[in-house]
Structure 1
């Protein structure tokens, strides 16, 4: 414990000392043409000089060509240290149809967009400080990805991303990562993406091992889901509670809550429609039942509970933070530098409409999540939630993590576990409960895009980097120290050093 604290302190000192030296202005890069798509291969720009400005850290941006017409955009950043040994982690924003460039530039990437959306600065709390990060725009039609294929559900999307990863890991520049630990980290609609992708990847691993298909096994070890929608039936009642009992301010009057409560619980109401959706899975009426539940619940039940607020951060009345990235990523010079081939939009209305048409939003992904938790490979699962987010609020996320349909031995033990404080550099940054390989973390002072936020004396992304780092390295999230504990540890370290020096002076050895 003492050596861990010393190492951490030394790292902070070194980071502070080197920070200004690492920040430099963007360098000019000639326009790049990636050439004609070739199915099953990558086309990309190496070291564009955009975003990651840490010297000698490799980056690549471009496309994995799934077919002659379907190209999936990626942006890879090698870890700032020890890139050959640390995990490969993919980051997926939600939506559906939301570009993962939001995660890159607003949350956990090597750079952050400025408040006016016109420039970038180095992010000292980037997740590529401890892992190789791969940001993917998916499904096709999202962000910089382009093509003809239509995807209308998370399970279908999983197949394309698996194909993309096979292409990526076969490329000579990235094949060294094939045996590294692998992680899926995502948010919001990632409550569906994460479980669906993890389950599919594991099934593909089994097929490869049996010899029924050829491919590269993915050494899946972590799944992280932030403010995710996973089980609508257990999460949608939480809006009634959160609108009145969140840590910040009411989002609805008592009359509005009563109106929505009636709409949820009445015969034929939102709850009944979600139940009908669940029962229709696998039969011909699935799409109509689930899309009907989506329409009624999201257009009639929710609006009275969230009027006049930013649903992603209820402390604001408008969606002004994190800063928008669309204008920055529509600069033609920048697009040439990074190899992008299409105009950028952070949200694809077309992709969203495809998912809406099937009602994929209202499907229950909790069984897939349970299968990942109970998989024999000890996959570490972190469910985390910023407590200022209304849309997929922490009360609903916590309920999802605790409900009976996650009927596993781990879950039963998890439900009996008490919350403990989550400390980051002496600051109480949240509450955590953890049992075996399942953990749930409520993050104080964060909206839906948790890594974009700071809390008290913590910088934006500081708490997120700690819970990410602890999870991928299989450490307990309650491992941090309070301010008083840090003070006591400092005294103990000093005493140990005094005793050691005294023993050395008098010729004694430990």
Structure 2
């Protein structure tokens, strides 16, 4: 009788929870995400939001793995302009990452939904699975801000109205540095009109596009001091551009012009302008260096690929090879090269027909890509300096702001952000509390923090442009402290959730053979045993000596 009573209570609680969902949320509930290799029980939703009658914006909403009924809501934007937030879910800060087979998903133990409900969207249309239902229009900064605002209204009013009372935050990186502040203005104005009723608390921007002037003016000295340009070019720039001042205060940007049709940068045809363009544009994008992370290298040569295949061939035939098992969980960046191959694996997975059907994509035989060439080529940019926008935000709201930057990114560099924060803080009389101090992750310096009244500014040591990908552990800790401990101004407080990996499902667990194949010779058996022993030893040594 007691067992029956407990079962009835469980059934009632499940149906009560389901009853809280709107009809649209119930229709968007994903009941079977294909080929997740680990135990995962939190609810995931996917479908379309409607900013107006001419567009459908694809979204995925992941409930918190900790306390979905109490944790805050964080909305994530990818940059570009024109890149996919769903790509971020499967590559950066979601719980799922694609294995090298392009078919299965392994666990990201530093997923942001470990401690928050997270909403991802693909904006503006036609990014990712988002699309037009009416005439195609060319997006720009103003139209994207309005569409993102109306997308949020649709989500809060008709899909998840139960989330209106939760603390709500906007987050993202790269061109989200423009998306988020312009959307914030829309939200502030909507709150003044009593149109937007969600509990808006703050914004988080990583390596954002906040000031092209400061970006170009700081990029030249950063490139020189990182050895990316030599003393000859340095002296030419100094003589042509900076005779009256030191290099760190030189105004290179005044010799650049913006092409209205493409939003690209060009020289004003002066000697200084030509040298600046060569350094900040051609030398930045025209070399094999990864400007998003100057210390990142991806090796794509066929000989290297063949060598790796030959080295793994025997082991792959001997055991069920699961890439998730390669992850060193004592490290924050030993991802077995995921930075280099994760994007192609996510693309392969998201283009499976059964996956698109499971996540409620409404366009049959659609080819998903992480960025939209249409948006990249046609987007009309108008926001280049965000000082006035941040002034408006600080003067018309009480929200908190976190600006963070990987310190080896050149595309949206940390010095640009520091100068931007300094100027905005000074203009708005924000007090700096204490000195610039290190913040720690697992006993090691994770970066440096500066705490102003309303703005927290952090660097992330050793990370490039994509902090949640390259430093996932520190990124999750940073998120936790901004959401829950920001009044303490201490980003060294450990993350209050477990990052232990969930167990693999039985069908994905590695099966190590205890005997040789029936047709195997003694020499074959010896090779297999030696290969397995070497692989195990390498894994142990990696976890001990390559933990970063």
Q: TM-score, normalised by structure 2?
A: 0.68
Do 1:111 and 1:121's aligned partners in 2 also have CA atoms closer than 8 Å? yes
Counterpart of 2:45 in 1: which secondary structure? strand
Structure 1: runs of 5+ lacking an equivalent? 1-37, 209-214, 278-286, 455-460, 483-510
Query: 2: distance between equivalents of 1:108 and 1:143?
Result: 18
Post-superposition CA distance 1:153-211 (Å, at most 9, x none): 22321111111111111235x11101211100010111111211111111111122xxx
Aligned mates of 2:377, 2:141 — CA distance in 1: 14
1:471 and 1:52 map into 2 onto residues whose CA distance is 31
**Which stretch of the first structure deviates more once superposed, 61-70 or 307-316?**
61-70
Moved more, 396-405 or 174-183: 396-405
Query: Does residue 302 of the first structure (1) align with residue 307 of the second (2)?
Result: no
1:90 partnered with 2:101: no
Larger radius of gyration: 2
The equivalent of 2:394 in structure 1 is: 373
State the distance in 2 between where 1:72 and 1:265 align: 48
Matched, 1:393 2:413: yes
Shift of 1:218: 2.8
Q: Please state if 1:441 is matched with 2:470.
A: no
CA contact (8 A) 2:387 2:424 kept: no
The equivalent position to 2:444 in structure 1, one of 415, 424, 427, is: 427
Superposition pairs for residues 142-161 of structure 1, below 5 Å? 142-147=127-132, 148-161=135-148
Mean Cα displacement is larger for which, 464-473 or 318-327?
318-327
Q: 1:419 to 1:253 in 2, by over 3 A?
A: same
Any conservation in 1 of the 2:30–2:358 contact (CA below 8 Å)? no
* Per-residue Cα deviation, 1:247-285 (whole angstroms, up to 9, x for no partner): xxx22223344556678779xx962266x77xxxxxxxx
2:20 matched residue in structure 1: none
Root mean square deviation, CA, Å? 3.2
Please give the secondary structure, in 2, of the residue aligned with 1:422.
Answer: strand
Output one character per residue of 1:468-492: Cα deviation in whole Å (capped at 9) or x when no partner: 011112434525269xxxxxxxxxx
Q: Distance in 2 between matches of 1:264 and 1:305?
A: 19
Match of 1:49 in 2: 33
Q: CA deviation at 1:386?
A: 0.7
Could you tell me how far apart the structure 2 residues matched to 1:240 and 1:146 are?
40
TM-score normalized with structure 1 length = 0.72
Kept in 2, the 8 Å contact 1:151–1:157? The answer is no
1:26-425 alignment, distance < 5 Å: 44-50=28-34, 55-114=40-99, 117-147=102-132, 148-171=135-158, 174-208=160-194, 215-246=195-226, 250-258=227-235, 271-272=253-254, 288=260, 291=263, 293=265, 300=278, 301-305=280-284, 307-318=287-298, 321-322=339-340, 323-324=342-343, 325-340=346-361, 341=363, 342-355=366-379, 358-360=380-382, 363-377=384-398, 379-403=399-423, 407-410=427-430, 413-414=431-432, 417-425=434-442
What's the offset of the Cα at 1:44? 2.7
Helix, strand or coil at the partner of 1:291? coil
CA shift digits 1:441-477 (9 cap, x unpaired) = 11012111101124xxxxxx11111110111124345
Deviation at 1:347, TM superposition (A): 1.1
Structure 2: unaligned runs, 5 residues or longer: 1-22, 244-250, 300-336, 495-548
